[in-house]
Amino acid sequence: MIEFSVLNISKKFNKKFVFENLSFQLSDSNSIAIIGKNGSGKSTFLKICAGVLSPFSGNVEIKIGSKNIDKTNFFLHIGFVAPYLQLYDELTPTEHLEFCCNMKNVKFSKSVIEKVLEEVNLENRKNDFVRTFSSGMKQRLKYATAILHKPEILILDEPTVNLDKDGCETVKKIVEKQIQNGILVYATNNLKEENFSSNVLNIEKNNS
């Protein structure tokens, strides 16, 4: 039983509110789409949900079973993919995933990594430097790092950006699997992506 509560979040940049009092509450097998025009604060909101940016006011809580998860341990339960998430140019996919395994208490083994790379269709480049990757390949690797630890909550910002047809299929599979097992939160400008979830939060409407 997982509960993800995002309550009354407001965020200010330079003394101006980007948004005020955004809330949602999700439990197992729920999902939500965040929409709104460019600059409405979708990415900012997702970063706050993931616990990497502090809100001006409001609270983010994760409850697993009856246990409240401490803020510093959020990363163990969250997977995050976004266009502004940068990978290390001088590391290979294997090294990225090894780092993620180690930091998130996933037992590191060749087969674990091969399996997740197969899932995103990147296994033939597993020992090349990320420096040599195309933006679509980087996006695939971001998915691998996000789903490696089978997070309870998956947060996606513009899920299929840079991806080809085959990549979009992969994302669709990942999204469907996530909704079966956990929680999905995503933001999008793409009409095609909006039907990933029946639950939609339009943040600009809330604002006015």
Q: What is the largest CA-CA distance in the chain?
A: 51
Site map 19..58 versus Mg ion, x via CB under 5 A:
------------------------x---------------
**Contacted entry of another protein, Mg ion, ligand ATP, none for residue 90, CB cut-off 5 to 8 Å set by kind:** another protein
For 16, other C-beta atoms within 10 Å of its C-beta total 7
| Closer residue to ligand ATP (CB): 83 or 136 | 83
The pair of three-digit structure tokens given for residue 29, joined into one six-digit string: 């097998």
Which residue, among 80, 116, 84, has the nearest Cα to 98 in the 3D structure?
Answer: 116
| d(C-alpha 21, C-alpha 182), whole Å | 25
Site map 52..71 versus another protein, x via CB under 8 A:
xxx-----------------
The distance of closest approach from Cβ of residue 67 to ligand ATP in the complex, given in angstroms and rounded to an integer, is 31
| d(C-alpha 158, C-alpha 127), whole Å | 27
Instruction: List, edge to edge, every strand of the sheet that includes 16-27.
Output: 16-27, 2-13, 57-64, 67-68
Whether residue 9 contacts residue 58, with contact meaning beta carbons closer than 8 Å, is answered with yes
| Closer residue to another protein (CB): 82 or 161 | 82
The pair of three-digit structure tokens given for residue 49, joined into one six-digit string: 């949900």
Q: Using CB under 8 A, pick the residue from 99, 128, 172, 194 that binds another protein.
A: 99
The distance of closest approach from Cβ of residue 178 to ligand ATP in the complex, given in angstroms and rounded to an integer, is 21
The distance of closest approach from Cβ of residue 171 to ligand ATP in the complex, given in angstroms and rounded to an integer, is 17
Number of residues that bind Mg ion (CB under 5 A): 1
Q: List residues binding another protein (CB under 8 A).
A: 50, 52-54, 72-73, 75, 78, 80, 82, 84-91, 95, 99-100, 102-104, 145
